[in-house]
Amino acid sequence: MKLPCSIGIAERAEFPGRPTVFMTQQINTYRAGPDEQGHFGIFGGRFVAETLMPLILEVEKAWDAAKEDPSFEEELQYYFKHYVGRPSPLYLAKRLTEHFGGAKIYFKRDELNHTGAHKINNCIGQILLARRMGKTRIIAETGAGQHGVATATVCALFDLPCTVYMGSKDIARQAPNVFRMKLLGAEVKPVTSGSNSLKDAMNEALRDWVANVENTFYIIGTVAGPHPYPAMVRDFQSVIGREAREQMMEAEGRLPDSLVACIGGGSNAMGLFHAFLDDPEVKIYGVEAAGHGLNTDKHAASLTGGRPGVLHGNRTYLLQDDDGQILEAHSISAGLDYPGIGPEHSWLFESGRVEYVSATDREALEAFQLCSRTEGIIPALEPAHALAHVGRIAGDLPKDHLLCMNMCGRGDKDIFTVAEALGVEL
Amino acid sequence: MSEHADSGRIRRRFETLKAAGRGGLVTFVTAGDPDYETSREIVLGLPQAGADVIELGMPFSDPMADGPAIQAASLRALKRGMKLAMVLDLVRDFRKQDDETPIVLMGYYNPIYSYGPERFVADARDAGVDGLIVVDLPPEEDEELCLPALKAGLNFIRLATPTTDDDRLPAVLSNTSGFVYYVSVMGITGTTSAAEGAVRTAVERLRRHTALPIGVGFGIRTPDNARAVASVADAAVVGSAIVERIVAGLGDDGSPAPGLAGKVLDFVRELAAGVRGREGPE
């Protein structure tokens, strides 16, 4: 495996299970990115309008300072533990393991977090940063509504006004989350431009930000956007992988053999993967949404069906036509319905460290039902895509193969979509 | 790629304006809005209507810094099959009749990135384009397009904004050429207007940092606005207000009603009278 760059040993100690020989020598790493300009290889960067640039630089400076400040970390850990409910369990899914008859399947239970998904990890981190920067108003974009709910939640907690942009198409299919956001005191602004979906919500949030840079902090919900967002969101989410690592060591005395996570923008996946990127023996799968199939024009698989381009502040793989116009993505899961992907994933894809695959709407629906019946866990449609891939590979793997999947969200929000897809009237 | 001198059209135009003792009018329309033919008719008529510099939008599906009017203009053009190569066709066509009026293309980076930046700057220069404004390329990303454009002989016109403070201005101005486009409000195109006093202060601040001409845009909607801005800056940029005249000339099915281009150009005449300090067209 080709390793792209070198760093010192300082980062090693946090990882139980790492061979101690690494402690004494210079090693190569996949974990040192991005560079100072926010690039992961050719991906990432800061492609934003000048009005935003000074603020982007200010966010970067504040984030660099916060990272070095023990009181920031202390505050973050306090809320992770007492408010979010971390650590989330690592759970051996026995019946699914039996069902597939191969690999031992573990779920990292981030759906048990407060608000029901991994999104809150990042929102707590960013709102603490916004407070440090003295910002008095929060905006966010949301697709499935999980990030919107998590943002509205932390805004209620810290008493900051909150505006969430959401595509009108998503408002229709995620009604419970819309109501949740309103209950939490947020203003939900429907977005009717473009494809009325997540990318358009992000455009609209950026437009709001341009007009309100002085008092407003934009809590981006995934590992995308201009630098430092992809790195910052990853850092907040990487608690998932650090915990999983420790928990797997405790449960099995060794690292997992494979990791699986679904990818829209890719924050839950980066969160799980990051702690394991330099363990070449750990096989890593990212699962994109194949919608109606990769051979149709209705999917959201940016890596397998797109090519590099520039959108929303970063260079990354995008679904686009021959003229560089961004295409509408499609997925049954609103959270994966995005024509781009975080730049670090594009880099991990090209470097070959992570294998990116996809699952269709239909496969996700089947996995959704299977998981509900066999484990008593109704997964969100997003991790149902990850589970679909688990179902594809688990049976052929040996029984001592340790597979860890990120159960990054719970499915209550999706029951209406699923009912409709199954032809059930509620 | 060898170094090319720029076309000199922008410089000459601002020199002429200075000699005439007035600020200029920069007009924005999206190429291909509402369709290629009507757009061509409008663009070819702009110099005679009194536009001093033509800013031509390259349509993009996700125009993040634009308000509803220009977003819709982009989508109309794309829906009717507008492509980046056709924007250059339009410029080529224009140059057959006018070799003096500067044309500046304005847009977002992805279509250019998709076209291939090196190929694009060469083709744009050949077509008769004088400068580029690319909203989502700050100086931090100069190597992407700005430096290749300058090398190919295209001006690279940068946006300066109220958030660009004195510390940052030198970086913003360093590879800027042709003119500086001052975005007078924090926000997207076509929304609020800046107060005249604030524009004056901002232009004075910019002049301390650069000898380049300064165009001011965002929120300039009427001949009076244009007159006020052109009296303190070197040019006033009008976009959304012109684009709204295009919308006004669309039929229920979205196709252009007869006489649309003429009405749009009539409005440009009013704006042109504004920057010339007159009440109406001659």
CB within 8 Å: A53 and B135:
no
**By mean pLDDT, which of A96-110, A185-199, A401-415, B199-213 is the weakest?**
A185-199
Mean pLDDT of A256-262: 98
Higher pLDDT, B261 or A173: B261
Return the pLDDT at B2.
52
User: Which residues in chain A touch residue B84, judged by CB atoms under 8 angstroms apart?
Assistant: 323-324
Whose tokens are 């001006």? That residue is B155
CB within 8 Å: A54 and B164:
yes
B282 within a domain of the structure (yes/no):
no
Higher pLDDT, A19 or B243: B243
Return the pLDDT at B194.
77
Shortest CA gap B62–chain A (Å): 7
Angle A40-A44-A49 from CA coordinates, rounded to 5°: 155
CB within 8 Å: A51 and B191:
no
Shortest CA gap B242–chain A (Å): 21
B279 within a domain of the structure (yes/no):
no
Going by their DSSP bridges, the two strands A27-29 and A5-7 should be labelled as antiparallel
B256 within a domain of the structure (yes/no):
yes
User: Which residues in chain B touch residue A46, judged by CB atoms under 8 angstroms apart?
Assistant: 138, 140-141
Distance from C-alpha of B210 to C-alpha of B42, rounded to nearest angstrom: 33
CB within 8 Å: A211 and B188:
yes
3-state secondary structure of A376: coil
B281 within a domain of the structure (yes/no):
no
Mean pLDDT of A251-261: 98
How many residues make up chain A in this entry? 426
pLDDT at A8 over 50: no
Return the pLDDT at A252.
98
pLDDT at A22 over 90: no
Distance from C-alpha of A420 to C-alpha of A87, rounded to nearest angstrom: 35
Return the pLDDT at B119.
98
Banded pLDDT at A24 (limits 50, 70, 90):
very low
pLDDT at A1 over 70: no
Whose tokens are 């009076």? That residue is B224
Element (H, E) at A241: helix A239-252
Contact in structure between B142 and A47 (CB atoms under 8 Å): no
User: If you measure CA to CA, which chain B residue comes closest to A310?
Assistant: B110
B45 within a domain of the structure (yes/no):
yes
Return the pLDDT at B277.
87
User: If you measure CA to CA, which chain A residue comes closest to B135?
Assistant: A49
Nearest to B187 among A55, A211, A326 (CB): A211
pTM of the model: 0.94
User: If you measure CA to CA, which chain B residue comes closest to A314?
Assistant: B136
Angle A330-A140-A149 from CA coordinates, rounded to 5°: 80
Return the pLDDT at A2.
42
Write out the two tokens for B180. Answer: 């500086």
Nearest to B61 among A49, A207, A326 (CB): A326
B223 within a domain of the structure (yes/no):
yes
B278 within a domain of the structure (yes/no):
no
Query: What is the interface size between A and B, counted as CB pairs within 8 Å?
Result: 117
Distance from C-alpha of A375 to C-alpha of A371, rounded to nearest angstrom: 5
Distance from C-alpha of A80 to C-alpha of A124, rounded to nearest angstrom: 8
Banded pLDDT at A350 (limits 50, 70, 90):
very high
B263 within a domain of the structure (yes/no):
yes
Task: Report which of A258, A189, A270 is spatially closest to residue A223, judged by C-alpha positions.
Answer: A270
Please give the single-letter amino acid code of residue A135: K
Banded pLDDT at A236 (limits 50, 70, 90):
very high
Shortest CA gap A188–chain B (Å): 19
User: Which residues in chain A touch residue B113, judged by CB atoms under 8 angstroms apart?
Assistant: 309-310, 315, 324
CB within 8 Å: B168 and A213:
no
Task: Report which of A306, A283, A305, A405 is spatially closest to residue A355, judged by C-alpha positions.
Answer: A283
pLDDT at A19 over 70: no
Banded pLDDT at A4 (limits 50, 70, 90):
very low
Mean pLDDT of A279-300: 97
Mean pLDDT of A346-368: 98
CB within 8 Å: B114 and A48:
no
**Run means of pLDDT, 10 residues per run, chain B, 282 residues:** 82 98 98 98 98 98 93 96 98 98 98 98 98 96 96 97 93 96 87 83 96 94 94 96 96 93 98 85 46
Contact in structure between A144 and A415 (CB atoms under 8 Å): no
Full residue range of the structural domain in which residue B202 is found: 5-273
SS3 helix, strand, coil % of chain B, rounded to 5?
A: 50, 15, 40
Using an 8 Å CB-CB cutoff, list residues of chain B that contact chain A: 60-65, 67-68, 71, 75, 78, 83-84, 108-115, 135-138, 140-141, 158-165, 168, 172, 183, 186-188, 191
pLDDT at A137 over 90: yes
Segment A186-227, tens digit of pLDDT: 999 999 987 788 899 999 999 999 999 999 999 999 999 999
Return the pLDDT at B279.
56
Distance from C-alpha of B96 to C-alpha of B99, rounded to nearest angstrom: 7
CB within 8 Å: B159 and A49:
yes
DSSP count for chain B of H helices, then E strands:
12, 9
Residues of B with a catalytic annotation lie at 55, 66
Total domains in chain B come to 1
Shortest CA gap A309–chain B (Å): 6
Segment A138-152, tens digit of pLDDT: 999 998 899 999 999
DSSP letter for each residue of B135-149: TT--GGGTTTTHHHH
Return the pLDDT at B81.
97
Return the pLDDT at A13.
43
CB within 8 Å: A48 and B68:
no
Q: For position B249, which CATH number holds? A: 3.20.20.70
Mean pLDDT, chain A, whole residue set? 93
